[in-house]
Structure 1
Amino acid sequence: MHLRAKKLTELLIDEIKVLIEADSLQPGDKIPTEQELMRIFKVSRTCVREALSVLRQEGIVDIIQGKGTFLKKHYTPLPNIDDPTSSGLAHFMESRKIIESSLARLAAKRASKTDLEALEDSLRTLEADGIDAFPEKVIQADLDFHYLLARSTGNPVLLHLLQEVDSHLQAGRSTTITFPQGRKKALEGHRRVLEALRKKDPDEAALQMTRHIEEIEKAQRFIAVLQTSPDKKRTE
């Protein structure tokens, strides 16, 4: 029993490190709370506390009573995310980046005032206070932005292609958007794209969409490393 608990704690330590990289946290940033870590990794509070204690001993985090746990320094080695765990997943990610950057370029030329207002409304929903308590609403608000942008091009075939590719990425996408920094990153990416659309700048819109998708891709690759761990089965 002791050996089993130790193994689970060591696995959780690795997964917390993956989460830190997926969220691109920097020294001084606050890491997820005990409650959030319990929810994300489906482990007990005791296991979370043991893992955080080890990370503190390693000098990776600072635990400040009453304030939370903060990243103190990065660590090495990092997971090898240059080799996707699934070539099929990599192909869909690549396809999504190509399609969405092209959609953003077209939208910068064709989006109407009504389209832009609808995109802004989706951002307001995504940044609303308290929405983190409803993961399904966060996911839907994220999808709404991308699909509204696609519709603003006036080309239903491109929208269909996006939805087809996207259907193969929903599991990873749902995970990244509901990670502690996921919503914040989505908002930042969406706002950059929307600003380019407002300026009617096709090149900038395509560039910002590509940047946004690459940020998501990086997070999904780290999460894929986490999810394909040879011993990901947990017990309380």
Structure 2
Amino acid sequence: MQIQRKTLAEEVAERLIEGISNDEYAIGEKLPIEPELMKIYGVGRSSIREAIKILSIKGILNVQQGVGTFVVSKNAQESLATQIDKAKLEDVFEVRSILDAKIAGKAATHRTEEDLATMKMYLDLRNTLAAEKKPLECYEADVNFHVSIAKACGNSLLKEIFIVASKHILSSFENRHNNDTEPFKISQKIHTDLYLAIETQDSKKAEFIAQQIVDRVY
């Protein structure tokens, strides 16, 4: 899998957690307003808002519209990754099957040229490794192709959920496909079609093809 670098929002979230742990921000206290937080952490408004969203999901902050953002806990709720680690594999597949089409459609709208280059790299690598019968490397290239689509979708929360779930999908490939790359050769065309739909920014077609891949209709 690719090495995931921390975003500015994630770094701000970590610094906020440190401040809360050190009682810089006490439980029940309201955080400074956005412009002040931007000055304190040296980042833009979007990074502050994303950091607050991350900590709200973890149960550390509570956002009250029109009032402010309050510290409600020092302890994060069980992380998404931990919850998925404990989940049954069929539940993980169900999450991915629900998300795939929506992510592909959004990626078609938001993708950049850099995103397309990354997708194409993994798409071609997937094909090459399948032909060379290198199963583990092929499975990883396939997962990274789909992760690169998630990264282009413009929704950081969808992206993170998909990335965590995909780690389990990769593990399942090793058991389910029994070191066979033939299914990946067969599905190369439909994956190429998905890439082309995203490249041409045809969101409806991208959603349709992504769902076909999930349902293995190819």
TM-score when normalising by structure 1:
0.49
Q: For 1:117 and 1:164, how far apart are their aligned partners in 2?
A: 23
Conserved? CA contact 2:129–2:135, under 8 Å: no
Conserved? CA contact 1:131–1:138, under 8 Å: no
Find out whether 1:176 has 2:177 as its counterpart: yes
Structure 1 residues 116 and 90, CA gap change in structure 2 (3 angstroms):
same
Find out whether 1:161 has 2:161 as its counterpart: yes
Highest RCO, 1 vs 2 (Cα 8 Å, sep ≥ 6): 1
Output one character per residue of 1:73-98: Cα deviation in whole Å (capped at 9) or x when no partner.
Answer: xxxxxxxxxxxxxx944332221111
Query: Which residue does 1:116 correspond to in 2?
Result: 116
Q: Which runs of 5+ in 1 are unaligned?
A: 1-86, 219-236
Structure 1 residues 166 and 144, CA gap change in structure 2 (3 angstroms):
closer
Query: Which residue does 1:202 correspond to in 2?
Result: 203
Conserved? CA contact 1:150–1:158, under 8 Å: yes
Conserved? CA contact 1:126–1:138, under 8 Å: yes
Identity %: 19
Structure 1 residues 201 and 137, CA gap change in structure 2 (3 angstroms):
same
Structure 1 residues 178 and 186, CA gap change in structure 2 (3 angstroms):
farther
Output one character per residue of 1:143-181: Cα deviation in whole Å (capped at 9) or x when no partner.
Answer: 110111111123332121012223333333233394242
TM-score when normalising by structure 2:
0.53
Q: Report SS of the residue matched to 1:213.
A: helix
Runs of 4+, deviation exceeding 6 Å: none
Structure 1 residues 207 and 177, CA gap change in structure 2 (3 angstroms):
farther
Counting matched residue pairs gives 131
Q: For 1:200 and 1:132, how far apart are their aligned partners in 2?
A: 32
Q: For 2:90 and 2:151, how far apart are their aligned partners in 1?
A: 25
Q: What RMSD over aligned residues (CA atoms) do the two structures have, in Å? A: 2.7
Query: Which residue does 2:215 correspond to in 1?
Result: 214
What code does the residue aligned with 1:95 have? V
What code does the residue aligned with 2:114 have? T
Conserved? CA contact 1:145–1:190, under 8 Å: no
Query: Which residue does 1:190 correspond to in 2?
Result: 191
Structure 1 residues 114 and 136, CA gap change in structure 2 (3 angstroms):
same
Structure 1 residues 177 and 146, CA gap change in structure 2 (3 angstroms):
farther
